[in-house]
C-alpha cells in the first residue's frame, strides 16, 4: 500500500482500513465483491474486462490487505457523474464504510451526482429532481 494512495477514515466506527484509488491488481477482488452483491440483486453485474477498463473510476476500501469495499464514480458529462458499484463486504455492512467511501470519492462542486437504480428497484429513478 502506498501511503500517498490512502485517505484516512475519520468518524467511522471500528474502521481500521484505508480508502484509496483502485489499481488493476485490485479488480479481481472488486469483481468478487460485486458478484456477491449481484446475487442479492443490489447492483448490476460487471465483467472483469469492464472493471479493468474502468479502473480509474474506482476507489477501494482495504483493511489488513483485504478488499472489503468498492465504489466507482463514472463521469458521464462535464457536469454529471454517476456513483456505480458501491459495495461493502457483508461482514462490514453498517459500519460506515459505504458512507466514508462516498465522502472520499473526488467530486467537483459543479458536478451533479446520481446513482443508478438497483436491479430490484427498476421502477424508480434516482436522478435528482430539478426543483
Is the Cα torsion angle 96, 117, 103, 46 positive or negative in sign? positive
- If you average pLDDT over every residue of the chain, what do you get? 79
Q: How far apart are CA 6 and CA 19, in angstroms?
A: 6
pLDDT at 112 over 70: no
Domains of the chain: residue spans and CATH: 3-121 (3.40.630.30)
pLDDT at 120 over 60: no
Cell of 16: 481500521
Beta pairing partners, 6: none
Candidates 91, 85, 89; CA nearest to 67 is 89
pTM value surpassing 0.85: no
Instruction: Summarize pLDDT for 65-81 with one digit per residue, the tens.
Output: 999 999 999 888 877 88
Amino acid at each position: 500500500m502506498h501511503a500517498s494512495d490512502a485517505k484516512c477514515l475519520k468518524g467511522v466506527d471500528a474502521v481500521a482500513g484505508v480508502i484509496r484509488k483502485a489499481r488493476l491488481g485490485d479488480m479481481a477482488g472488486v469483481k468478487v465483491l460485486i458478484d456477491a452483491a449481484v446475487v442479492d440483486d443490489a447492483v448490476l453485474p460487471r465483467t472483469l474486462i469492464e472493471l479493468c477498463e474502468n479502473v480509474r473510476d474506482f476507489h477501494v476500501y482495504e483493511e489488513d490487505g483485504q478488499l472489503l469495499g468498492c465504489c466507482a464514480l463514472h463521469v458521464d458529462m462535464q457536469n454529471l457523474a454517476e456513483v456505480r458499484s458501491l459495495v461493502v463486504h457483508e461482514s462490514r455492512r453498517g459500519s460506515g464504510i459505504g458512507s466514508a467511501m462516498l465522502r472520499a470519492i473526488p467530486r467537483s462542486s459543479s458536478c451533479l451526482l446520481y446513482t443508478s437504480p438497483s436491479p430490484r428497484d427498476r421502477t424508480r429513478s434516482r436522478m435528482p429532481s430539478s426543483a
